[in-house]
């Protein structure tokens, strides 16, 4: 076999046999991953370019995606409903692609392009969604079809949209628009190319942060303050950056991620409209000697965490496509993992719901959208109810730590059906409790439910009863600091109040010298002693 033939055989073997990843994808503590599931729409077997968004204000998880059916194009919106995706809106024929929009909590907006009569031209649109319905559609401009990158952001007073218009007939291909009124848009003269991507964030009600870059420039950014375009000092070190994503940071500023023509993803924190140091994120690729074409299409979860969840695409020189997922820890970002079941996958998107579960979706190349999510595997054990008719303590222990998981306390009084009365979020430990201060004169039943946005993964404990006729338990009612004293107040059945006081003084403040676990055990022992005191026989009368 000649040298050329041997080289070709090796290349074909790499294309066919190269594995993407082996084993299961790591989940956060106390959780596991569901299997991946496909999503389609009626008459559209191919859904492309998905976008996940979780709105913590309304508790709504949304997925927006473009759709294809052998020459026909459209776009659909879905909302999660108990255990399945429910279609809510549809844009209409000719829709090319949806792009990310940063919307204020409680609102949802879309930006997209649609075909014009010319095959090389498209119309740039934006609209809000309310009640699951598409609102008034605004037309911003005529733009080019090939390789156009778009982005938008919304504040309470203004909307912005940017596009890398490659063939717009302008000296500079970056175009910027703003609107203060539905139906009215204004274009601002700006400079820049943005042939590798553009992303828009909000600095205040009338100021936008715009980050872009590409093959003709490095990392570039500017602010649009009112109608004034102020360009920052670009950094050519990131020449070739690709597909930028901006997300607001709960502590202020923005997280900005972008792909590069190498194996690492770049992540920076923009403060006051300027970038900070760049953090390079790696992935556990199966072949350490893999030759990379690039990382691209990053997405960041939008939640109140210090560090968002990240997902991004990658490709090697053989044309293999895959996805990396990075779950942050308290100490930072570890090495990301290749998603094992995302073979030839592109356009990943991530979200974190109110229960702390991670949702991941992507487009399978030349196929449709796949999605999966984590769910809590911990269960509640040792559920117990102690206390009086005026105050009860509902306590339980998790089978394993599941930080961020949410548990609902259900209470049924008398013959009534149990209803949700409280929610408890788990921390790093396994012991959870809730104080029920509702006065009760009849028996009650308690359960706890492990929450999941996907009802198939919710779990409810067995029922535990409480009867005022036999209750002798003692419940810790209050911990307070009064004039240099720590006061621990217990209540027992019959409204008798017991008030042991534990003191420790210093010159300036009370010093808590016991570790949390030791203090918890001490309080448990003290409560047990009080319970024994409450159960003592009544003294004999003379």
pLDDT of residue 469: 78
Distance CA 315, CA 339 (A): 13
CATH no. for 18-376: 2.130.10.10
Give the whole-angstrom CA distance, residue 26 versus residue 31: 9
Q: Give the residue-averaged pLDDT of 387-410.
A: 93
Residue 147 — very low, low, confident or very high, per pLDDT cuts 50/70/90?
low
Average pLDDT over residues 100-107: 92
pLDDT at 1 over 80: no
What DSSP element (H or E) covers 313?
strand 310-316
CATH topology agreement for domains 18-376 and 378-468: no
State pLDDT tens for residues 26-43: 999 999 999 999 998 988
**Predicted confidence (pLDDT) per residue in 50-98, tens digit:** 999 999 999 999 999 999 988 789 999 999 999 999 999 999 888 888 9
pLDDT in tens, 217-248: 889 999 999 999 999 988 888 888 888 999 99
| Bridge partners (DSSP) listed for residue 186 | 178
Note the pLDDT tens digit of each residue in 119-131: 778 899 999 999 9
For 313, the token pair is: 């695409």
The span from the first CA to the last CA of the chain, in angstroms, equals 113
Q: Which tokens sit at 350?
A: 């991530």
Number of Cβ within a 10 Å radius of residue 312: 27
Residue 520 has a pLDDT of 55
User: Which residue ranges make up each domain of the chain?
Assistant: 18-376, 378-468, 472-537
pTM of the model: 0.84
| Cα–Cα dist 484/509, whole Å | 7
Q: Return the pLDDT at 196.
A: 85
Average pLDDT rounded to a whole number, residues 438-447: 92
What is the phi/psi pair of residue 391, to 5°? -160, 130
Note the pLDDT of residue 484.
57
CA dist., res. 98 & res. 109, Å (int): 11
- The pLDDT tens digits for 329-366 are 989 999 999 999 888 899 999 999 999 999 999 999 88
- pLDDT at position 496 is 47
Instruction: Indicate the pLDDT class of residue 542, thresholds 50, 70 and 90.
Output: very low
Share of the chain above pLDDT 70, in %: 80
474-486: pLDDT as tens digits: 556 556 666 656 6
Which pair of structure tokens corresponds to residue 294? 């690039």
Tell which CATH architecture fits domain 378-468: Sandwich (2.60)
Best CA proximity match to 45, nearest among 69, 75, 72? 69
Which has the closest alpha carbon to 463: 523, 529, 396, 403?
396
Q: Is the dihedral of CA 255, 258, 263, 268 positive or negative?
A: negative
Is the pLDDT confidence value at 515 over 60? no
* Residue range 460-506, pLDDT digits in tens: 999 999 988 776 555 565 566 666 566 666 555 444 445 554 444 43
């Amino acid at each position: 076999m000649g040298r050329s033939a041997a080289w070709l055989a090796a290349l074909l073997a790499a294309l066919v046999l190269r594995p993407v990843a082996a084993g299961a994808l790591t989940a956060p503590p106390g959780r596991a991953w569901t299997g991946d599931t496909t999503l389609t729409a009626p008459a559209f077997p191919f859904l492309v370019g998905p976008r996940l968004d979780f709105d913590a204000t309304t508790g709504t998880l949304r997925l927006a995606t473009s759709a294809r059916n052998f020459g026909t194009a459209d776009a659909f919106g879905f909302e999660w409903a108990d255990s399945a995706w429910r279609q809510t809106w549809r844009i209409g024929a000719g829709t090319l692609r949806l792009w990310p929009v940063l919307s204020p909590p409680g609102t949802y907006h879309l930006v997209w392009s649609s075909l014009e009569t010319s095959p090389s031209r498209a119309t740039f649109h934006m609209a809000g969604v309310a009640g699951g319905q598409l609102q008034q559609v605004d037309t911003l401009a005529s733009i080019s079809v090939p390789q156009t990158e778009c982005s938008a952001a919304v504040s309470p007073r203004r909307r912005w949209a940017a596009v890398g218009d490659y063939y717009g007939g302008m000296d500079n291909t970056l175009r910027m628009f703003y609107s203060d009124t539905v139906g009215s848009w204004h274009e601002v003269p700006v400079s820049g190319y943005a042939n590798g991507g553009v992303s828009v964030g909000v600095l205040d009600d009338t100021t936008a942060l715009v980050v872009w870059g590409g093959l003709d420039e490095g990392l570039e950014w500017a602010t649009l303050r009112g109608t004034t375009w102020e360009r920052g000092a670009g950094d050519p070190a990131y020449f070739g950056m690709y597909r930028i994503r901006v997300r607001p940071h709960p502590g202020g500023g923005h997280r900005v991620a972008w792909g590069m023509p190498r194996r690492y993803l770049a992540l920076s924190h923009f403060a006051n409209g300027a970038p900070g140091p760049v953090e390079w994120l790696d992935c556990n690729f199966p072949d350490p000697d893999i030759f990379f074409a690039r990382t691209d299409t990053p997405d960041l979860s939008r939640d109140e965490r210090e560090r968002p969840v990240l997902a991004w695409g990658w490709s090697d020189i053989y044309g293999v496509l895959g996805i990396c997922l990075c779950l942050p820890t308290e100490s930072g970002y570890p090495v990301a993992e290749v998603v094992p079941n995302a073979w030839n996958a592109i356009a990943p998107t991530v979200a974190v719901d109110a229960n702390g579960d991670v949702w991941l979706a992507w487009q399978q190349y030349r196929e449709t959208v796949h999605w999966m999510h984590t769910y809590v595997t911990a269960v509640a054990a040792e559920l117990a109810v102690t206390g009086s008719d005026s105050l009860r303590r509902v306590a339980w222990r998790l089978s394993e730590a599941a930080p961020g998981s949410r548990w609902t306390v259900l209470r049924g009084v008398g013959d009534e059906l149990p209803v949700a009365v409280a929610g408890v979020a788990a921390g790093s430990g396994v012991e959870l409790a809730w104080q029920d201060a509702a006065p009760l004169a009849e028996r009650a039943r308690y359960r706890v439910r492990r929450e999941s946005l996907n009802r198939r993964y919710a779990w409810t404990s067995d029922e535990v009863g409480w009867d005022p006729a036999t209750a002798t338990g003692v419940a810790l009612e209050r911990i307070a600091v009064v004039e240099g004293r720590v006061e621990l107040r217990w209540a027992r059945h019959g409204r008798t109040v017991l008030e042991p006081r534990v003191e420790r003084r210093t010159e300036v403040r009370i010093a808590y010298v016991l570790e949390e676990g030791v203090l918890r055990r001490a309080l448990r022992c003290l409560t047990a002693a009080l319970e024994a005191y409450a159960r003592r026989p009544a003294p004999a009368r003379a």
